[in-house]
Amino acid sequence: MTAPFGARLAGAVTARGPLCVGIDPHAALLARWGLPDGPEGLARFTDAVVDALAGTVAVLKPQLAFYERHGSRGLAALEDGVARARAAGALVLLDAKRGDIGSTMDAYADVLRPGHPMAADALTVSPYLGPGALQPAVDTARRHGGGLFVLARTSNPDAGTLQHARVGERSVAQLVVDTVRGWNAEDGAGPLGSFGVVVGATLAELDVDLSGLGGPVLAPGLGAQGGSAADLRRLFDPATAVVPTVSRDVLAAGPDPAALRAAAARWADRLAG
């Protein structure tokens, strides 16, 4: 068992700052980089991003769907990229948004096992089969020192259709936050809990209570989606452990490694300002 994800994340943020860079090799971006939309182009893209950024940013967040669309060779490229990113010191958050029950959820969470071919530090998951459905993933994370980020209050336009629905006196989004708060409380004291939530950085206002969460908040939406460092300061209390995510604004600077590093550095400076 390795050190808990929350402790490793806290250490990485202290050493490198909180920036998380998404790795989203969609077809249009591969074309922009002059790469073919196939496993070879995917591997070259992934290698370039990892080589440029894994030694400096705290977290890299590959989007699994863009690798799955290329079949087994796409997954092989991701396996290699994940291993190389972690070897260079970056934490890897696999953005898969998995959600199921029983043995199926257990199988999805197996990616948090150190011996897994795509062994990641953390995984994004969806709670909409009920909080109890995620228990196999929680158990696996605890067993192997992994982390989970649970979709809670996303900022896509129609997210409120479900997330604002009421369960008794609480919204669904608040119920998710409260569930994750409970997992961290069960684990006791530490620099940072291993269980976090996803809350969009482009929300008009924060309509969930994150106090006492005990874990990190993944905040996607910076840059091309309209979010800014000022939005983070507007939405989140300074005591909240926010992990801001940028994808397109950094990746658009490629394929030149120096340009990728410079784009990430500009965001790191904005976040520190």
Task: Tell me the average pLDDT across 238-255.
Answer: 96
Rounded to whole angstroms, the Cα distance separating 34 from 48 reads 13
Rounded to whole angstroms, the Cα distance separating 131 from 175 reads 9
Digit-coded pLDDT (tens) for 91-107: 999 999 999 999 999 99
Structural domains of the chain, ranges and CATH numbers in brackets: 5-272 (3.20.20.70)
pLDDT number for residue 27: 97
Rounded to whole angstroms, the Cα distance separating 92 from 34 reads 26
Which of residues 223 and 138 earns the better pLDDT score?
Answer: 138
pLDDT number for residue 38: 97
Phi-psi region of 128 (alpha: psi -120 to 50; beta: other; left: phi over 0): alpha
Q: How many CB atoms lie within 10 A of CB 158?
A: 8
Active-site residue identified among 16, 26, 84, 97: 97
If you count them, how many residues does the chain have? 273
Q: State the helix-helix crossing angle for 71-87 and 39-53, rounded to 10 degrees.
A: 10
- pTM recorded for the entire structure: 0.97
Q: How many CB atoms lie within 10 A of CB 34?
A: 10
Rounded to whole angstroms, the Cα distance separating 60 from 25 reads 13
Rounded to whole angstroms, the Cα distance separating 107 from 111 reads 8
Digit-coded pLDDT (tens) for 26-85: 999 999 999 999 999 999 999 999 999 999 999 999 999 999 999 999 999 999 999 999
Active site residue 61: no
Task: Tell me the average pLDDT across 152-158.
Answer: 91
Structure tokens at 149: 């980020």
Q: What band does 1 get if pLDDT is binned at 50, 70 and 90?
A: low
The amino acid at residue 54 is A
Average pLDDT, rounded, for the chain = 96
Q: What band does 232 get if pLDDT is binned at 50, 70 and 90?
A: very high
